[in-house]
Structure 1
Amino acid sequence: MSALSTVVVVTWRGRDHITACLDALEAQKSPHRTIIVDNASDDGTAALISGHEVVRLPRNRGYAGGLDAVQGMVDTKYVAWLNDDAVPDPSWLTELESALEADPGAAAATSSILLTDGSTQSVGVALTSDGHGKDVVLAGREVFGFCGGAALLRTEELRRAGGVPASFFCYYEDTDTAFRLRLAGHRVISVGPARVRHKHGASTRPGSKPFHLWNERNRLLMLLRCAPGLIAIRELARFLAITALLPFRENVPNAANFTLGLRLRVLAEVLIRLPATAFQRLVIGTRKKVGRSAVWKDWAGR
């Protein structure tokens, strides 16, 4: 039986957890191809994965960059994105494949991602009224977007929508991709029985300065690329206004994303990328079959 899917696992310094991920992939009921993208790990990860199909990058390109680096190598109907600290159930891939086979209008299927204590981290991604991507823990069959830590996508539809935004490095590459798939007229579904256990934040340390930098920057870039123009401008202006008023506020939240230096860096990086982002917006616009405002009206704030 030929494989329907290629599973891409991006790793960086994954020595302490990648073996469990790869063992779980070997136990999958569905035949598949696995490609491991090693983001120039220097902790001994290379030795642990040497018996697998590995693409070793000369520098750390992040999760988005790693996915993008091997997109051209995928020759199967579906491509799965899987975090190196995620351990899927044996039927995980079968459940995702079966769901997409039964639903031609869906271009992506998201998993039930459970934390190590058994609680639910995500069964999909919602779009908030101010344009944040937010994990949802209770959902119906259809969701706005998928969590990129464990999802299955139609390979050709991903390519037609523009692939993975490699320059995001990490975070919001999934929300951006889901937005573009919806603009192309596709749906995203949540598959409850497709379960994985996730050691959340093993590589990126949620709450750290890099975490907040990537989140804040990429949210704005995603909106500038995909959202209605007035919404994108509104959220960029709001970010700028909050930043400008920070030195005059008495009660500033004790979080890295409310430090002036980090917010100024976010703004600088967004402004530097603005010409390229404007061009990307035009390209995305030429591919869309559904209006940006229609997608926003249907999903933002739900």
Structure 2
Amino acid sequence: MVVVTWRGRDHITACLDALKAQKSPHRMIIVDNASDDGTAELISAHEVVRLPRNRGYAGGLAAVLDMVETPYVAWLNDDAAPDPSWLTELESALDGDPGAAAATSSILLMDGSTQSVGVALTSDGHGRDVVLAGREVFGFCGGAALLRTAELKAAGGVPASFFCYYEDTDTAWRLRLAGHRVISVGPARVRHRHGASTRPGSVLFHRWNERNRLLMLLRCAPAKVALPQFARFAVITALLPFRKDVPDAANFRLGLRTRVLAEVLLRLPATLWQRLRIRTEVSRGSVWRDWAGR
């Protein structure tokens, strides 16, 4: 069990209390991303890996993956509080389905509405939460999921450089390319204080989302999908100064999109090298045809 926190003083206690009440025994590692708000004192009684700087959710998960020696590893947001049977339900689901390498939870918002029961892949290569799904889904929501440790490591682990967002969809995509499946486990319920650690809709939120989606596509998608999507992003960005109908949203700000393009181009050599190293027991085209737009 890995819980990544950053300035989680106001919400991590509820998470830890819920984990203490789990029916399944587990080892818990808390990754503290250099919190400076008193979080360190609240978690001091637990096994803590304190990073010297904030490496984000993806970086925090990646930092301790080598420490995990159990067959399964759970990812859990520090602002999520699972039901007592949460871990048991996820473990039972993977025990009963050898072809699945990851199991995603029913993530509920604090008002009881559903935030996610899995992740779908859109026809233009975005990941989106789904609130109604069958047993199998394209990907898992990284805020509350269980993965097979060996399969995760064999697929390349966690993309630490993503910092935050799309690390789960990228990981699920690589697991599918390696021939594995992802399942949704309805009874594995978690209450989530969405946005307690990050601010959805903020400039940083959109920067990470736009950048990481493009990096994910360049790593995982068929070239005939990844390259046009990158080009489309670049063309829309270039035309923004000449448009009169620019949407009033952070992800249409010229400065943000220019920075995203610069970051993707800077990482392009490493990203293409990573693409070559991804294990592909199933072709990229097959995964795209089976799941994009569903």
TM-score bracket, shorter-length normalisation? over 0.9
Partner residue, 2:291? 299
Q: How far apart in 2 are the matches of 1:32 and 1:144?
A: 27
Partner residue, 1:164? 158
Partner residue, 2:281? 289
Partner residue, 1:177? 171
The runs of 4+ residues in structure 1 deviating greater than 4 Å are none
Alignment equivalent of 1:203, drawn from 194, 197, 205:
197
Give TM-score scaled by structure 1 length.
Answer: 0.97
Give the drift of 1:250: 1.1
Q: Residue 28 of structure 2: SS of its match in structure 1?
A: strand
Give TM-score scaled by structure 2 length.
Answer: 1.00
The letter of the residue matching 1:298 is D
Where does the alignment leave 5 or more consecutive residues of structure 1 unmatched? 1-6
Within 5 A, what are the aligned runs for 1:56-75?
56-75=50-69
Give the drift of 1:295: 0.1
Q: How far apart in 1 are the matches of 2:33 and 2:75?
A: 15
Give the drift of 1:251: 1.1
Partner residue, 1:110? 104
The count of corresponding residues between Structure 1 and Structure 2 is 294
Partner residue, 2:4? 10
Partner residue, 1:155? 149
Alignment equivalent of 2:70, drawn from 72, 76, 95:
76
Within 5 A, what are the aligned runs for 1:262-277?
262-277=256-271
Q: How far apart in 1 are the matches of 2:268 and 2:35?
A: 31
Q: What CA deviation, in whole Å up to 9, does each residue of 1:69-94 have, x standing for no partner? A: 00000010100000000000000000
Match status 1:24 vs 2:24: no
Q: How far apart in 2 are the matches of 1:235 and 1:183?
A: 20
Q: How far apart in 1 are the matches of 2:89 and 2:173?
A: 23
Q: Report the aligned-residue RMSD.
A: 0.4
Within 5 A, what are the aligned runs for 1:123-162?
123-162=117-156
Q: How far apart in 2 are the matches of 1:253 and 1:44?
A: 39
Give the drift of 1:115: 0.2
Where does the alignment leave 5 or more consecutive residues of structure 2 unmatched? none
Q: Residue 130 of structure 1: SS of its match in structure 2?
A: coil
Give the drift of 1:252: 1.0
Partner residue, 1:46? 40
The letter of the residue matching 1:277 is T
Q: What CA deviation, in whole Å up to 9, does each residue of 1:5-60 have, x standing for no partner? A: xx100000000000000000000000000000000000000000000000000000
